[in-house]
Amino acid sequence: MSSKVSVIGAGNVGATCAQRVAQGGYADVVLLDIVNGMPQGKSVDMMHSHPVVGSISNITGTNNYEDTAGSDVVVITSGSARKPGMDRRDLAFTNAEVIKSVVPQVLEHSPDCVIIMVTNPLDTMAYLALKLSNLPKNRVMGMSGVLDTARFRAIIAAELDVSVEDVSACILGAHGDTMAPIPRLTTVGCVPITELLSKEEIDRLVDRAVHSGAEIVSLLKNGSAFYAPGVSAAQMAEAVVLDSKRILPVAAYLEGEFGLSGIYLGVPAKVGARGVEQILEFELTADEKVALGKSAQTVRDLVTDLDLS
C-alpha cells in the first residue's frame, strides 16, 4: 500500500485513531510510542481484528522514528491528558516540551508530511508545531472542530430525537471552554435549530457541548475522552490521504480570515492532499465576532505565556 499514516502516541486516542485509519483500508499505519512494547502489542492486537473487518492495511508498532519515514500524514497525540480539576492551560507547559521533542524527529524522517495535532491545548500546540517545523501553514492543522461539532451534533440529535446524520453543526474558535458555537448555522436537515428550539434550550445544549470534555473527565475519574477524538483525527487523515476535499472544521492558521491573524483557531476548511487547502470564511454577527475574539484571546494569552510568539 503506497500511502502511510503515522500516529505518534499509542495511548487511547492514538490507538483509536490508528485502528480507525487501518480499518479504512486506504493506508498502512505506524503506531509509535516511547513505552517499549505498548505500540507493538496494540498493533498486533489490531492486526488480529483485520480478518473480521476485512482490512488489508498493515500496522507497525514501534519505538523508533525511522519506522515512520515517508509518512503522508503524521497524527500527534503524545503528551499528558487532562485529569479531574485540570483545564487545558494546566497541560500547556508539560505538553509543549513533548511537542518540542516530537516534531523535529517527525520531520527528520517525513519532511513532506501533513501534521495533524491532537495534543492539548491543541490550538497552541499546532502553533508550536508550525514554528518548530517551518512547514507551510497548510501542512500543519489541529483536530478541534471535527470533535467539537460531533459532540454538538450528538447532543442535538438526542434532544430532538433525530438521526445524527441529518444534524450539521457550526463551531468556531479555540478547542476548549471558549469555543464559539454558531446556532444560526447549525441545522437539522436544512432547518436552523433556532427555528426548532428556544434560546434557553439552545443555551443548555451549547453549554453541554462546550463542557463535554470536562464531563467525560469527571465521569472517568482517571482518564479523558478518546473514542471521539481518535476517530475525528482519523477522518482528517483520510481526507488528506484520499485528497477528498472534505469541508471539515479544523484548527487552521489564520492570516486575516474572520479578522484574525497569526493564530490557530477552529474554522471550516477544505481538507485535501495539501492539508488545509482553503478556509471558508463567512460574515459573522456582532455577537459572534465578540465570542470569537474572546476565544482567540485565550489562545494568544497561552502563546504569550509559553513565549512562542
3-state secondary structure the chain: CCCEEEEECCCHHHHHHHHHHHHHCCCEEEEECCCCCHHHHHHHHHHHHHHHHCCCCCEEEECCHHHHCCCCEEEECCCCCCCCCCCHHHHHHHHHHHHHHHHHHHHHHCCCCEEEECCCCHHHHHHHHHHHHCCCHHHEEECCHHHHHHHHHHHHHHHHCCCHHHEECCEEECCCCCCEECHHHCEECCEEHHHCCCHHHHHHHHHHHHCHHHHHHHHHCCCCCCHHHHHHHHHHHHHHHCCCCEEEEEEEEEECHHHCEEEEEEEEEEEECCEEEEECCCCCCHHHHHHHHHHHHHHHHHHHHCCCC
| Share of residues in the chain with pLDDT > 90 (%) | 89
Q: Catalytic: which of 48, 50, 109, 175?
A: 175
142 - beta bridge partners?
A: 117, 251
Interval 284-297 mean pLDDT = 97
Give the residue among 146, 145, 153, 202 at the shortest CA–CA distance from 179. 145
Strand pairing class (167-168; 171-172):
unpaired
pLDDT of 238: 98
- What is the chain's mean pLDDT, rounded? 95
pLDDT of 85: 62
pLDDT of 230: 97
For the entire predicted model, the pTM comes to 0.96
Structural domains of the chain, ranges and CATH numbers in brackets: 4-142 (3.40.50.720), 145-305 (3.90.110.10)
Catalytic residue flag (residue 175): yes
Integer Cα distance of 291 and 289 in angstroms: 5
Contact 30, 62 (CB under 8 A): yes
Interval 127-145 mean pLDDT = 96
Cα 198–Cα 248–Cα 72 angle in degrees, nearest 5:
160
Which pLDDT band holds residue 61 (cuts at 50, 70, 90)?
very high
pLDDT of 221: 86
**Chain segment 72-105, per-residue pLDDT in tens:** 999 999 998 766 666 666 788 889 999 999 999 9
pLDDT of 88: 62
Looking at the chain, how many residues does it have? Answer: 309
Cα 280 to Cα 163, 177, 188, 254, 290, distances in angstroms = 26, 23, 21, 11, 19
**Chain segment 230-268, per-residue pLDDT in tens:** 999 999 999 999 999 999 999 999 999 999 999 999 999
Give the residue among 275, 250, 240, 233 at the shortest CA–CA distance from 17. 233
> Residue 270 phi/psi, 5° resolution?
-85, 120
**Chain segment 20-52, per-residue pLDDT in tens:** 999 999 999 999 999 999 999 999 999 999 999
